[in-house]
């Protein structure tokens, strides 16, 4: 069964450093998403991406964050100048479309720890 692959599974970084979280969506999917989940809290939408541009973003997704699809397979989330409160699980997801009954497939996540 096709999977969304995320690397690394765990990233530890010092406060103020930049990190890049990587995702390989399912090959025939067109829509890509990043979510985050702070420990013990709800999953939060960050951004959706389609046709090489951001289609929707949340209030969380400020200038500190950026996304990119540098080639035909990878989808990355860059976090600049990381803060302690950026520590969370970051999930990438992809889907064929956005209509009802379109299933989003999630990766296993990257646990980001900012120290």
Partner 1 sequence: GESVGLHLPTLSVQEGDNSIINCAYSNSASDYFIWYKQESGKGPQFIIDIRSNMDKRQGQRVTVLLNKTVKHLSLQIAATQPGDSAVYFCAENGNAGNNRKLIWGLGTSLAVNP
Residues in the site for partner 1, rule: CB under 8 A? Answer: 4, 31, 33, 35, 41-45, 48, 50, 55-56, 58, 91, 93, 95, 98-109
How many H-runs (helices) and E-runs (strands) does the chain carry?
Answer: 0, 11
Which residue's CB is nearer to partner 1, number 14 or number 101? 101
Which residue's CB is nearer to partner 1, number 74 or number 89? 89
Which residue's CB is nearer to partner 1, number 5 or number 64? 5
Residue 25 CB, nearest approach to partner 1 (Å)? 13
Of the candidates 35, 20, 15, the one whose C-alpha atom is nearest the C-alpha of residue 85 is 15
Residue 76 CB, nearest approach to partner 1 (Å)? 17
Q: Where are the beta strands (DSSP E) in 1-115?
A: 5-7, 10-13, 19-24, 31-37, 43-50, 53-57, 65-68, 75-79, 88-95, 105-106, 110-114
Residue 111 CB, nearest approach to partner 1 (Å)? 9
């Amino acid at each position: 069964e096709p999977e969304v692959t995320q690397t690394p599974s765990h990233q530890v970084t010092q406060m103020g450093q930049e990190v890049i979280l990587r995702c390989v969506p399912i090959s025939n999917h067109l829509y890509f998403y990043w979510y985050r989940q702070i420990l013990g809290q709800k999953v939060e939408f960050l951004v959706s991406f389609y046709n090489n541009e951001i289609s929707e973003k949340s209030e969380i997704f400020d200038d500190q964050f950026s996304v990119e699809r540098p080639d035909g397979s990878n989808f990355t989330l860059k976090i600049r100048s990381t803060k302690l409160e950026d520590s969370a699980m970051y999930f990438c997801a992809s889907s064929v479309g956005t209509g009802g009954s379109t299933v989003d497939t999630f990766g296993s996540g990257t646990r980001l720890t900012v120290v």
